[in-house]
Structure 1
Amino acid sequence: MASERVTLTVSDPEGDREVELSSPNRVVWPDASTGSETDGGITKAELAEYFQVVAAPFLNANGDRPVSLERFRAGIGSDGFFSKNPPKGTPDYVDAVTVTYNSGRQHPQIVLNRPSAIVWAVQMNTIVFHPWASLASDTDKPIELRIDLDPQPGTDFADAVAAAHGLREVLREAELEPFIKTSGNRGLHVFCPIEPTHEFLDVRHAVIAAGRELERRMPQQVTMNWWKEERGERIFIDFNQANRDRTMAGAYSPRALPVATVSTPVEWDELDGLDPQRFTVRSIPKRLADVGDPWARMQENPGRIDTLLSWWERDVGDGLGELPFPPEFPKMPGEPPRVQPSRAKKD
């Protein structure tokens, strides 16, 4: 039996475009009921509708840059996989750019520049969108400094909020203006718009410098320890998210979690007492209509990472050097042994 299909008319800057959507009634989030007329769960068609509504702020934050698609063929209960390269049959309204990965290998990667391309990604069963920090015009130089505040066991979202406020002070002292969003899960993502003058390794060093400064000020609340066994009940400052081809869920991207939470930009004065679980695929359209997009003007006044890099050099002079890279990376210059401390002691 042929799969059920519908044709959606999507408004692009170039004009209306028809995009086919197969299995529109497939339930993506079975447990996302709100007691409304759609209380059978959120379907693929409803997800496509969501992205048409939020297309402008979504593209403002995630468009014109390489993006990895996290796809789930049968909804959030199925196994997910990442799709970076344009698959066979990708339509011509979905753009691509050649990027260089950490191994030195080069390959085209998907770029989303119009609403129809986002709906196509939904047709490909994408739930989570993971954009790079650099634009398609120069994929080697980030336009954002990104820091992931990741609650560890024994901590919660309120602890991440306290860390975020402290981090904001540090970044402002470094002459950067931070913006913030929920991760869609338990943590927070802090972004600073920056001029694209440095490559990823430099930006990583700037993030490490900021994280170390925050750790000095809040040693009981945050940690830069890469190894989980050393983090304790603290918020982990995930400096490795600043690396090339390391991404986090984009602004207004849903998460593959039971209540269909969305990674949501917020104002700083919203943070205290915030419940990130209330930002969902069903609630975000009304939020945008009521309060607008807190990130609408984020890229208007990018800063520079010079001050943070001077902090990095200061710390290197004081004996604080490179930190571990993710396991899939090649061995990097100056990197300490890539082995967890307890195993190193046994050896």
Structure 2
Amino acid sequence: MAAAKDDAEVLEIGGHDVRVSHPGKVVFPEPGLTKLDLVRYYVAVADGALRGAGGRPMVLKRFVKGIAQEPFFQKRVPENHPDFIDTATLHYARGTSAEEAVVRDAAGLAWVVNLGCLDLNPHPVRAEDLDHPDELRVDLDPMPGVDWSQIVDVAMIARDVLEDHGLVGWPKTSGSRGMHLLVRIAPDWTYSEVRLAAETLAREIERRAPGLATARWWKEERGESVFVDFNQNAKDRTVASAYSVRPLPDARVSTPLDWSEVPTRRPEEFTVTTVLERYAELGDPHAGIDDAVGRLDGLLRLADELGPAEKAPRGSGDGSGRRQSSMPLIEVARTETKPEALEALDRWKAAHAGVVGHLSPADVMVDGMRGSSSLWYRVRVNLQHVPEGQRPEQEPLLVDYDPWEAVRNRGS
């Protein structure tokens, strides 16, 4: 390890020199983890992390202002990237393209962490074939009011559905509230076919576990259930991959599990510190994932048997082209940050105290929405459980942040 200028250290990793700027910067104050600690973590678990993210183009999700501030999303690889970072050019439906980073070794992991990335967000394709995913992703996303035991129940049902159709699911904690099942598939299908297979899987899970799981697209229609988020298989989507460090105060990690662990382990058990110990002792439970490649023929046959999925109604009738929800929704605020969103929600609750007691946890929706390069937040309330005569009318938004203003200004 050599010293460098500007309070930096240069690490020799796999024959490459990687410069780590401000290595002593504290990224996670609660456990006291520095930027250099995170680099060393990713180097220690590199084989497992690369099994999930290696060889795939990735979006760089950069927390340059720390975990308390919103990250920004960078699709285009920095021009001055080192020669051990490969690239791949992805083309998007709206006609744009981006040359994205492709990490293939531990040095590459250290390099992206130095940029301020905490979690790794790869696409489900290999750099050598950008049109045919080799991974189907099952995202079990609990609605408010759903506890971990219900997620476990749905995961077990999802495993059965996958096995019934010749596929193997590999479970991991999402590092937040949910669980991911990763399914290796032969790269023989397009994105739209993989998404159809994922949607069919979600519908079958819902059929086998009514009330526990849902495949309903519109959030206000899901209730207190686990949403099987099939749209994570759309072309532009990425999810945090295995061994990703998530931006929670305890430095929680998206951790691969063996199926025998799913009923008994909890997401909060897995942090940078504990995963380092676990990895050194047990290795990677997903070590065999690349040897378990399946095919989508079974799920696509089931899609034909089930027929088209029911689509939510669209069009409000007011000429706006906006979807008309079947639920009595009101919008409270649109904000730049989550703390602003929660503050606006508290203000709305204080102004409508008589309504709050009728709301279930799933009736209050604070959603992170993807903007041009960062998240913004939308606050809505579903009044379905409020007696009709007591339902507040739609009022002016308490905060009306425009996430697209900067984009329009750049174009003017």
Shorter chain as normaliser: what TM range?
A: 0.7 to 0.9
Q: 2:287 is matched with which residue?
A: 296
In structure 1, which of residues 219, 241, 262 is the aligned counterpart of residue 253 of structure 2? 262
Q: Which residue of 2 aligns with 1:146?
A: 137
SS of the residue 2:250 aligns to: coil
Q: 3-state SS of the aligned residue for 1:89?
A: coil
User: What is the aligned-residue identity percentage?
Assistant: 39
Deviation digits for residues 260-307 of structure 1 (CA, Å, limit 9, x no counterpart): 011111000101121111111111121112111111110113110011
User: Quick one: which amino acid aligns to residue 24 of structure 2?
Assistant: N
1:118 to partner: Cα distance: 1.1
Aligned position for 1:334: none
Question: Is residue 325 of structure 2 the alignment partner of residue 340 of structure 1?
Answer: yes
Q: Which has the higher contact order (CA 8 A, sep 6+)?
A: 1
Matches within 5 A, 1:51-62: 51-62=42-53
Give the Cα–Cα distance (whole angstroms) in 1 for the partners of residues 59 and 135 of structure 2.
17
- Shift in Å, 1:314: 1.4
Matches of 1:284 and 1:25, distance apart in 2: 21
- Which of the residues 155, 162, 167 maps onto 2:158? 167
Alpha-carbon distance change, 284 to 27 in structure 1, aligned in 2, over 3 angstroms:
same
**TM-score normalized with structure 2 length:** 0.74
Deviations, residues 174-202 of structure 1 (Å, cap 9, x unaligned): 11111110000110001111100001110
| Residue of structure 2 in register with 1:26 after alignment | 25
2:88 is the counterpart of 1:97: yes
* Aligned twin of 2:39: 48
Number of residues of Structure 1 aligned to a counterpart in Structure 2: 321
Residue 204 of structure 1, aligned match among 175, 185, 195 = 195
Q: Contact (CA 8 Å) 2:60, 2:74: kept in 1 or not?
A: yes
2:117 is aligned to 126
- Which position in structure 2 is the counterpart of 1:227? 218
5+ residue gaps, structure 2, are 314-321, 330-392, 394-412
Pairwise CA distance, 1:322: 6.1
Counterpart code for 1:5: A
Listed one character per residue, the Cα deviations across residues 17-44 of structure 1 (whole Å, up to 9, x for unaligned) are 211111111111111x2xxxxxxx1100
User: Residues 158 and 273 of structure 1 are in contact (CA less than 8 Å); yes or no, is this contact kept in structure 2?
Assistant: no
Distance 1:142 1:198 in 2: 7
Root mean square deviation of aligned Cα: 2.1
Residues 298 and 323 (structure 1), Cα distance of their counterparts in 2 relative to 1, 3 Å cut: farther
Residue pairs, 1:68-83, within 5 angstroms: 68-83=59-74
- d(CA) in 1 for partners of 2:81, 2:254: 27
Deviation at 1:78, TM superposition (A): 2.2
Return the alpha-carbon distance in structure 1 between the equivalents of residues 298 and 115 of structure 2. 43
Corresponding residue for 2:107?
116
Whichever residue aligns with residue 10 of structure 2, its letter is T
Q: Which has the larger radius of gyration?
A: 2
1:8 aligns with 2:7: no
Residues 1:305 and 2:296 aligned together:
yes
Equivalent position of 2:77 in the other structure: 86
8 Å contact kept, 2:122–2:240: yes
Where in structure 1 are there 5+ consecutive unaligned residues? 34-40, 325-336
Spell out, residue by residue over 1:58-83, the C-alpha distance to the aligned partner (whole angstroms, 9 max, x if none). 11221001111211113211221111
How big is each residue's C-alpha offset from its partner over 1:45-64, in whole Å with a ceiling of 9 and x where there is no partner?
Answer: 10011011111111122100
Q: Which residue of 1 aligns with 2:309?
A: 320
Query: What is the TM-score normalised by the length of structure 1?
Result: 0.88
Where has structure 1 moved over 6 Å in runs of 4 or more? Answer: none
